[in-house]
């Protein structure tokens, strides 16, 4: 169920998963990620968490914060979960190194905005 009062918790889940991905991939080459199965699947799982949390955000919230590519994030989760056999390590690497840090900054800003309204 998509409840607006739970949006902050979902944002915190997205932020934690983004931080995990950055920690798991930092200083590594794409080949290293593909070769390290444990690290690879840890990144996959955290991208899935981001996608699921994004999916569960209220529609009103996503409309208000439409600068975040929510639909792309959700589609990526669907590919990882349902199209697991077709995952391209290069795409996962690009997502981890390029898209996730941008998303992290966006989510941090939105959480700060929440804090101003709450405090």
Query: Residue 105 catalytic?
Result: no
pTM of the model: 0.91
Q: Quick one: pLDDT at residue 51?
A: 98
- Rounded Cα distance between 39 and 16, Å, is 16
Catalytic residue from among 10, 39, 65, 77: 77
Residue ranges per domain, the chain?
4-114
Query: Residue 28 catalytic?
Result: no
Mean pLDDT across the stretch 52-56? 97
Q: Quick one: pLDDT at residue 44?
A: 95
Catalytic residue from among 10, 65, 75, 82: 82
- The number of residues making up the chain comes to 119
Query: Pick the residue with more confidence: 118 or 80?
Result: 80
């Amino acid at each position: 169920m998509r409840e607006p009062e739970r949006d902050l918790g979902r944002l915190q889940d997205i932020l934690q998963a983004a931080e995990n991905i950055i920690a798991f991939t930092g200083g590594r080459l794409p080949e290293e990620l593909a070769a390290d199965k444990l690290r690879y699947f840890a990144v996959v799982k955290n991208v899935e968490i981001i996608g699921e949390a994004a999916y569960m955000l209220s529609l009103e919230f996503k409309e208000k914060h439409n600068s975040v590519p929510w639909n792309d994030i959700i589609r990526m989760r669907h590919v990882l979960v349902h199209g697991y056999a077709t995952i391209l390590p290069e795409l996962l690497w690009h997502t981890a190194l390029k898209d996730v840090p941008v998303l992290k900054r966006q989510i941090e800003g939105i959480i700060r905005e929440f804090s101003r309204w709450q405090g």
